[in-house]
Structure 1
Amino acid sequence: MLKKTALFALPLLASVSVSAIEPSDKAIQLAQDTIITDGHIDVPYRLNDGWEDVTQATDGGDFDYPRAVQGGLNAPFMSIYIPARYEKQGGSVLLANKLIDSVEAIVGRAPGKFALATSPDEVEKAFAEGKIALPMGMENGTPIEGKIENLKHFYDRGVRYITLAHSESNHISDSSYDLRRQWDGLSDFGKELVVEMNRIGMMVDISHVSDDAFWQVMKISKAPAIASHSSLRKYTPGFERNMSDDMVKALAENGGVIMINFGSSFVSNSALKWNNQFKDKMAEKNLSWGDSGANKFAKMYRKDNPYPYASLKRVLDHIDHVVELVGIDHVGIGSDYDGVGDSLPENLKDVSSYPNLVQGLIDRGYSDADIKKILSENTLRVWREVEAVAKQMQQSS
């Protein structure tokens, strides 16, 4: 899979044996009885690379229906991911529509298992009916193509958040990964777009954007923003893709929520360092993903330099730190399943693993009410507040 390959995806090797967590009956029941929203799961692009029927059990990937049911996942945001190269090469609108079609096809193949969801009410309706709701978020605003009318098109197709940029600067925003800061944050169009996203009821996602762009969103947005799949810079010093403490505080003041990314190099500094060293070695060999020898070299390198998977405990540390900084109301889950390759932490390897996370939260003294906020209530609250701001803006215009 070539989703975020240049950033985090790794060749598949046998994982180092670790002690599996045995979640308690309480943890399992809490996961089953609670709506679990996950802010970012990359099923659509995974299926674009190689089709599988995720309405049934699959051999690959991190998501399918049986594993989602086992884990209690019932409201995963399907990521409409557009690689950064589409900003220059074109074709982003076509790809975005194709990926949205693929989400609709999942529901069409199994309407008794899945339902599209374009609002918190529809998420709750699907949950009451025993179905998995599939809301959508667009990762990378490139398909807007500088046209406000495209925003409405994708809203009408069901997209409910847009990650303004991805791994490179685009016509909307600078990226945290891109050394070129052509806009010093948001472009003029990007600033206009944030206002229109507020007006139409589209959540603004600040994952991936540069620090300057983040602060400009905080200044402009009248509605709460989200970080759909980000973690904390406290544990990965210097990694701009994650959020600083000051940014988390500002996001909370804005009313927003940070959804913690599970990828090892997002939550563990040792995994991040490994990843950076690996990329340096690839560069020394003049190799890029897609080159004939890249995967072979990567497997050899990883065999000689075992990957330092993060632990579930470290993921919990990120949640704890957000709560310590700004309280329980501003943290959620944004796993990045199907988006970070073989870099997921021990005991959080796929969508069947949420009871392990719940058990960890129980062990750290979180109440059932607090756990429910982390699993979904914070995200659904923000979504409703975005809808309310949109209604107010539309009525006053």
Structure 2
Amino acid sequence: MNFSLKRSLTFTIILGIFASCSTSTEEPWSIEGKSDQEVMAIADSLAKTFIMVDGHVDLPYRMNIKGFMITKTVEDVSVETTGNFDFPKSKRGGLDAPFMSIYIPAGYQETGGAKNFADSLIDMVSRLPVTFPTMFAMANTPADIEVNFDQGLISLPMGMENGAPIEDDINNVKYFFDRGIRYITLTHSKDNQISDSSYDTLNTWNGISPFGEQVIAEMNKWGIMVDISHVTDSAAFDALRLTKAPVIASHSSCRRFTPEFERNMPDTLIYALAENGGVIHINFGSTFLSKESRDKFDKMREDLTNYRAENGLSSDDSVYTAYANQYAIDNDVYEDVQKVADHIDHVVSLVGIDYVAFGSDYDGVGDSLPKGLKDVSTYPNLLNELLKRGYTPKEIEKICYKNTFRVWRKVQEVAQGLQ
């Protein structure tokens, strides 16, 4: 059966389930009377029925460091990795289009070679569909993702995390567009030639640099989404002022829950992002989700450093890793799926359902993922929590992909007008 038809039929069945459990015409999506198992089954069906986009998955850098399924046979589709993302996990969780993060460490800004390193990661991602043609496909547009979804393939759109590979050549913006890059996070952990970083203290440009202004204009021209994750507040507001198209935050959360953590977005910036028509993709890392978890992780890092020093252990020693794992459990350092939903609730309460999406940072936040969302197979747990909070299937569909597609298509439209 064609996947589009199957999706339509499944959605009709889901709507019928909700309608049958409605207690009034004013609450047509009530799950009152449904058991936890029944609601979870609906959540799992929604995850498989809707296209699921994740704004940020750090598989490419993990492949560079540890490898991936590239050495396995095409037929062995059951093979799972130790990472947060792979084909079997994605199929179980319903993830259809994880944006592959072409992550460029800030060190390349000092030593050079950022462009070459970006190319090497793009090459690795591009080989996956060639090696596993029954699993993966590249995707440069929302339409590509829809076609791939109909064929049962996981799409691999790409975003570049850190604009350093543009170097000092504005023509490299078009170069990376041609290579398949569809968003660029303006900087990462250090100020670069484009923008100030929220993790740095220099404030080199007090926002966006003069060259960065040209970069944003060129991104608008060619249809690359401007990503304001990682930048300072000043740089984010500059980007919103400069852009002619909606922007995204590919993997950020709400500063309301993490005061003084500039990497997350304050309410004022969320309002401005919505006015621009953009979308914030919520990061799942526990330290992005609450001050309590950030404080616990800070203490854990200090205590574990002392433990290693006192016992003469390395960070990869089995005795140490066992101790560290137990420490994390005993001290309850991880947030949970409910806290991710709290961030979604907060954005919706501020600006509405049209401006929030998922940007997990899977494979990028290390061992800090919340309980219930440890890898991409667990996405139904988050949809289950949203259902229990009263979100309708149509609202969940917007969060899963429609909000991101709206921005992406508008960026394409603006580019066509500028070329």
Relative to the length of structure 1, the TM-score reads 0.89
Q: Cα 1:179–1:298, aligned 2, differ >3 Å: closer, same or farther? A: farther
Contact 2:244-2:414 within 8 A present in 1 as well:
yes
1:23-59: CA deviation from partner (whole Å, max 9, x where unpaired): 6221111110100000000111001001120774224
1:103 matched residue in structure 2: 125
- How far is 1:275 from its partner? 2.9
**Letter matched to residue 274 of structure 2:** A
- How far is 1:393 from its partner? 1.2
**Whole-angstrom distance in 1 between the partners of 2:341 and 2:308:** 38
1:367 matched residue in structure 2: 392
Are residue 45 (structure 1) and residue 70 (structure 2) matched? no
**Whole-angstrom distance in 1 between the partners of 2:322 and 2:103:** 26
Aligned residues: 371
1:322 matched residue in structure 2: 347
Q: Which has the higher contact order (CA 8 A, sep 6+)?
A: 1
Q: Cα 1:100–1:271, aligned 2, differ >3 Å: closer, same or farther? A: same
2:234 matched residue in structure 1: 212
2:314 matched residue in structure 1: 293
**Whole-angstrom distance in 1 between the partners of 2:253 and 2:327:** 28
SS in 1 for 2:229: coil
**Letter matched to residue 293 of structure 1:** S
Q: Aligned to 1:86, which of 101, 108, 118?
A: 108
Q: Cα 1:61–1:302, aligned 2, differ >3 Å: closer, same or farther? A: closer
SS in 2 for 1:309: coil
SS in 2 for 1:352: helix
Contact 2:308-2:314 within 8 A present in 1 as well:
no
SS in 2 for 1:112: coil
Higher helix share: 2
Q: Aligned to 1:64, which of 66, 74, 86?
A: 86
Contact 2:245-2:411 within 8 A present in 1 as well:
yes
Q: Cα 1:44–1:217, aligned 2, differ >3 Å: closer, same or farther? A: same
- How far is 1:281 from its partner? 6.2
Give 5+ residue unaligned stretches, structure 2: 1-35
* Equivalent residues in 2 for 1:277-356, closer than 5 Å: 277-278=299-300, 293-295=314-316, 300=323, 303-304=326-327, 306-356=331-381
Asked which structure has the greater CA Rg, the reply is 2
- How far is 1:298 from its partner? 7.7
SS in 1 for 2:373: coil
1:286-330: CA deviation from partner (whole Å, max 9, x where unpaired): 99xxx9835557875664563510011110000000000000000
- How far is 1:389 from its partner? 0.7
2:243 matched residue in structure 1: 221
SS in 1 for 2:376: coil
**Letter matched to residue 64 of structure 2:** N
**Letter matched to residue 67 of structure 2:** W
Q: Aligned to 2:409, which of 384, 391, 395?
A: 384
Contact 2:297-2:333 within 8 A present in 1 as well:
no
1:251-286: CA deviation from partner (whole Å, max 9, x where unpaired): 000000000000000012111112334556688899
Q: Cα 1:346–1:393, aligned 2, differ >3 Å: closer, same or farther? A: same
1:158 matched residue in structure 2: 180
**Whole-angstrom distance in 2 between the partners of 1:273 and 1:302:** 17
Contact 1:163-1:208 within 8 A present in 2 as well:
yes
Q: Aligned to 2:51, which of 30, 35, 42?
A: 35
**Whole-angstrom distance in 2 between the partners of 1:199 and 1:373:** 26
**Letter matched to residue 355 of structure 1:** P
**Whole-angstrom distance in 2 between the partners of 1:292 and 1:193:** 46
Give 5+ residue unaligned stretches, structure 1: 1-20
SS in 2 for 1:173: coil
Are residue 75 (structure 1) and residue 97 (structure 2) matched? yes
Between the aligned residues of both structures, percent identity stands at 50
SS in 2 for 1:391: helix
Are residue 125 (structure 1) and residue 147 (structure 2) matched? yes
* Equivalent residues in 2 for 1:167-316, closer than 5 Å: 167-278=189-300, 293-295=314-316, 300=323, 303-304=326-327, 306-316=331-341
1:144 matched residue in structure 2: 166
**Whole-angstrom distance in 1 between the partners of 2:342 and 2:110:** 39
**Letter matched to residue 276 of structure 2:** N
Contact 1:52-1:58 within 8 A present in 2 as well:
no
**Whole-angstrom distance in 2 between the partners of 1:87 and 1:285:** 34
Question: In terms of mean alpha carbon deviation, does 201-210 or 278-287 score higher?
Answer: 278-287
